[in-house]
Amino acid sequence: MNIENIEAFVYVNHYGSFNKAAEVLFLSQPSVTARIQTLERELDCKLFDRLGKQIALTDKGKQFLPYAQQIMQTFQKGKQQMQQRKTLPHELRIGATVSVSNYLIPSLLPRLKQRYPDIHFKLTTAGTDDLVNKLLGKEIDLAFVRKVAHPTLSSYSFYEDPIKLYVYEGHPFMRQERVSISEISFEPLVFFECGSLDWLRVHRVFDSLDRHPNIEYFVDNSESAKKLVLERAGICFLPGLCVEQEVRANRLFPIEFKELDGIALQTNLIARGSEHAMFADTLLEIGQTLFR
C-alpha cells in the first residue's frame, strides 16, 4: 500500500475537496483522484460519496480514517526523527536538581547514551530557579526541576516520588499497627526541606495538633537527612527514591499513615518551546520504562 495514496485520502477528507487537497499537495486534481481510486481498489471499497461538488466519507471510509491518520502521524514522526538525526548536536547540556542528579540521572544517562552514542552529555546540578534561568539564558538545553509554570517553557510531567515517614531498624513504630500524628510529633524529627509546596503539605500534617512537632534537625539535602536517621538521631519524611537501597537492605523502614496519602515530589522535564523535542521525547520514553 502506497503511503502517498493514504496521504491523499487524509488530505481530501481534511479539506473536504479534491481540488484543495491537490493544491496543498502540489499535485493536479486528476493525480489526487487517481491516488484515491488506487487506494479504493486496494481496500476493495468505496471511500467517498460524491454529491455534486460536495464529498462525504462512506461508512467504510469512516472506518478506515483513524487508521490512515495513525499511519500518517507515525510516518511523519519517523521522518522528523530521521531529519533531526542528520543535525544532532555534538553536546547535550542537561540540568537537574540535586535529588534528580543523585537518584535519576545515573539510570537515565547511560540509556540516553545508547540511543545517541555520538553525543556528549554535560550535567549541571542546581536548584529549580537557577535551572530555569540557565535554560532561559541558553546555558543548558533541558532541565529536570520541581513543578514550575513559565509562559515560554514547555513542561512535561516526568516522575512523582511519594513522600513517606522513614524510621531506623528497631524503632518502636515498627511494632505498631497504626501510628498517629500525635505520636510522631513527640519523636525526634529530622526535617529535610527543599522549598517545594509538597513540603508545606507535610508541615500541615501537624496543624491539627496543639503543639509543634519535635524537629531537632533541619537539613537542606536528603543524603544528610537519611544518614541522620541511619545514625538513629531521629526519624524523617523522605522521598522514596533516595532511600531505595536502604529499604531493600532493611536499614530504613517506611511507616504508613493516611495523612501523607497523595503527597509526592513532582519532577518535570522542561525545555525552551519545541527545542530539543526529540531528546525530551526520548527521555520521557526512557522514564516511562524505568519508573512505571
Output the CA–CA distances (angstroms, integers) from residue 190 to 77, 175, 278, in the order listed: 49, 21, 41
How many structural domains comprise the chain? 3
Using a pLDDT cut of 90, give the percent of the chain over it.
54
3-state secondary structure (DSSP) of residue 275? coil
Residues 147 and 270 in one domain: yes
Q: Where is pLDDT greater, at 83 or 21?
A: 21
Residues 77 and 101 in one domain: no
Q: What is the C-alpha to C-alpha distance for residues 291 and 108, in angstroms, rounded to an integer?
A: 11
Q: What is the CATH number of the domain that holds 16?
A: 1.10.10.10
Across the range 279-291, mean pLDDT stands at 90
pLDDT-derived band at 275, boundaries 50, 70, 90 = confident
Judge whether residue 199 has pLDDT over 70.
no
Across the range 193-215, mean pLDDT stands at 75
pLDDT at 292: 67
Across the range 202-208, mean pLDDT stands at 80
Residues 166 and 199 in one domain: yes
Contact 163, 202 (CB under 8 A): yes
Residues 75 and 118 in one domain: no
Residues 50 and 187 in one domain: no
| Chain segment 229-257, per-residue pLDDT in tens | 999 999 999 989 899 999 999 999 999 88
pLDDT-derived band at 165, boundaries 50, 70, 90 = very high
β 235-239/189-192 pair status: parallel
Residues 146 and 176 in one domain: no
Tell me which residue range forms the domain holding 18: 3-85
Q: What is the CATH number of the domain that holds 141?
A: 3.40.190.10
Helices 29-43 and 3-15 meet at what angle, rounded to 10? 110
Element (H, E) at 235: strand 235-239
Choosing from 32, 53, 85, the residue where a domain stops is: 85
Residues 231 and 198 in one domain: yes
Residues 132 and 165 in one domain: no
- Whole-number average pLDDT of the chain: 88
- Collect all residues with Cβ–Cβ distance below 8 Å to 254 and sequence separation of at least 6: 164, 165, 166, 240, 247
Residues 33 and 172 in one domain: no
| Chain segment 55-102, per-residue pLDDT in tens | 999 999 999 999 999 998 888 777 766 665 556 788 999 999 988 999
Residues 167 and 248 in one domain: yes
Judge whether residue 20 has pLDDT over 70.
yes
Residues 256 and 136 in one domain: no
